[in-house]
Amino acid sequence: MKSIETILIMAIFTLFLSGCVEKEILDDINLIDGIGFDYVDGKKIRGTIVFPIFIKDKPPENRVLTGESLLKKEILQDIQLQAADPIVTGSMEVVLFSKELATKSGITELMDPFQRDPGVGSGIYLAVVEGETKELFEGKYGVRGNSTHISDIIDENIRNEDLPKTNLQIFLADFYSEGKSPFMPIIKKKSKDVVELTGVSFFNKGKLVETISSDKMFFFKLLVDKYSEGLHRVKIEEGEAAIRSIRSVHHYKLIKKNPMEVEVTIDVQGIINEFNGDKMYPNLERKLNKQFEKEINQECLALVKNFQEKNIDPIGFGHFVKTQIRGFDYKKWHESLYKDLVVKVKSNVEVTEAGVIQ
């Protein structure tokens, strides 16, 4: 008898409890999947949100709303005045910053709400936009909505092409790390229905300080990602070959401590995708290997030199040296050690296959 009473009481309370929190029905909310920030003036920024509207038997339409304000949450409030349903951040895919904003006022303050909001996942992509984010969102790309399309482009380039691994989590980990500086991919609206990945941008204390173009990305990825893939064109006298690296591994080694010297060894295993010369023969392959190695050494070293000059460390030399030395002092590192660091790049390229023809 007693247990029945308990069950009854509990059932009644369950009814009460279900009324305790607000309901969110999928059809009655605006589930935004992209947000972009533009520079207005020294104080104000403009926010643009995009959310898909699903229509039967048709690709989703993108609805774009904008608002201007000082804080990200205020922007959402401002936008809310224009929206019929509550704005919810639960399925965010991309966050974009205009290059102007990232260079002039930096993004440090804008990052806070994305960490604080429990609804935003760590796997979302961040990117810098050449031009205005509002303009970019107003285009119409792909069949799955704008934000999904942009995140698909970044995803594909990370998995199979030259873009190093990145997302909100990796960006934040680098952002807070003393021995590494964060980076973001750069995208650009090419035409009304095409978006393109154009390079990588580098940040120092939340401000964009340096960019590289997409043809340098391959070398950057070799340096940053432990295992990477990608495609690079190599030119020799006999013709030009497109070599796809299918497996590459890098190793860092601290060989001298005073002055500090780091040796980077990069092993690349690749296949030839395309060759416009007359004929492939073993000697040619060796020549391609040599040329490829030379280019890797040169380009990687040039990248590192450039980073050192700009006092940014997206490759994470600081982090690496710290793992090698007990009681490492980051202060000293930032003051002088990093600038004086000697980096040597060694590479081994091995082209294993040349496709199905000779």
* Site for another protein, rule CB under 8 A: 2-3, 6, 9-10, 13-14, 16-17, 20-22, 90-91, 115, 118-123, 165, 167, 169-170, 172-178, 180, 319-320, 322-328
Instruction: Give the separation between CA 160 and CA 267, rounded to whole angstroms.
Output: 18
* Residue among 49 and 234 whose Cβ is closer to another protein: 49
CB of 138 to another protein, least distance (A): 26
* Residue among 3 and 358 whose Cβ is closer to another protein: 3
Asked if omega into 259 is within 30° of 0 (cis), the reply is yes
Residue linked to tokens 């993108």: 62
CB of 13 to another protein, least distance (A): 5
Query: Per this entry, what is the length of the chain?
Result: 358
CB of 231 to another protein, least distance (A): 22
* Residue among 115 and 298 whose Cβ is closer to another protein: 115
Q: Where are the strands (E) in 30-88, listed by range? A: 30-31, 34-39, 45-53, 61-69, 87-88
CB of 161 to another protein, least distance (A): 17
* Residue among 93 and 132 whose Cβ is closer to another protein: 93
Backbone angle region of 311, left / alpha / beta, with phi > 0 → left and psi within -120 to 50 → alpha: left
Assess contact for 132 and 190: CB atoms under 8 A.
Answer: no
Assess contact for 76 and 87: CB atoms under 8 A.
Answer: yes
CB of 181 to another protein, least distance (A): 12
Tokens representing residue 128 in the block: 């810098």
CB of 179 to another protein, least distance (A): 8
- Strand 239-257 relative to strand 227-236: parallel, antiparallel, unpaired? antiparallel
Tokens representing residue 298 in the block: 């040169």
Largest Cα–Cα distance of the chain, in whole Å? 94
CB of 221 to another protein, least distance (A): 15
* Residue among 124 and 243 whose Cβ is closer to another protein: 124
* Residue among 20 and 55 whose Cβ is closer to another protein: 20
Question: Concatenated DSSP letters for 226-283?
Answer: SEEEEEEEEEETTEEEEEEEEEEEEEEEEEEETTEEEEEEEEEEEEEEEE-SS---HH
CB of 72 to another protein, least distance (A): 17
* Residue among 123 and 355 whose Cβ is closer to another protein: 123
Q: How many CA atoms does the CB half-sphere of 33 hold within 13 Å?
A: 18
Assess contact for 97 and 90: CB atoms under 8 A.
Answer: no
* Residue among 193 and 329 whose Cβ is closer to another protein: 329
